[in-house]
Amino acid sequence: MAKKHDIYKCPECDCLFEIKGECACECSCELSCCDKPMEKLVEQTADKAKEKHVPVIEKIEGGYKVTVGTTLHPMTEEHWITFIQLITDDKVYTQYLEPGDAPEATFLVDAEKVSAREYCNLHGLWRA
């Protein structure tokens, strides 16, 4: 069953969908795109390269800065971070990125407990 904030990807066109609310029905609710079942993305937390994908959260004055990787992630036409999200108890803030942008985002958010996730076009969804 799809849960709030789950992200699904179409295996055909690579389109991403984020679930915005809980499903109240009791069926399996299979999501589809391009006449194919969508794949639920699994949030990865351990980077085999140990430095390029896991978001790094830094508390700054007035909010948080999220950088992708302790060594900055590439941002080329072939390999880039498409978005970074800061997640609080009740909200998700999203910054979309393009090739050539810095792999970072600043969120002016007054929250004590946060997590972050990002999506790499080649290596999937990552969370810290």
Write the Ramachandran bin of 77: left for phi over 0, alpha for psi from -120 to 50, otherwise beta. alpha
pTM (predicted TM-score): 0.89
Q: Which residue has the higher pLDDT, 90 or 98?
A: 98
Residue 125: the pLDDT is: 95
Chain centroid offset of residue 111 CA: 19
**Residue 116 structure tokens:** 């972050």
Does pLDDT of 95 surpass 80? yes
DSSP H or E stretch at residue 16: strand 16-18
Residue 34: the pLDDT is: 94
Reported as a single tens digit per residue, the pLDDT across 14-67 is 899 888 877 777 776 788 999 999 999 999 887 665 578 899 999 999 999 999
Query: Please, what are the domains in the chain?
Result: 7-40 (no CATH), 55-127 (2.60.40.730)
**Residue 9 structure tokens:** 């990807």
For 26-71, the DSSP string reads: SS----EETTEEPEEPPPB---TTSSSSSEEEEEETTEEEEEETTT
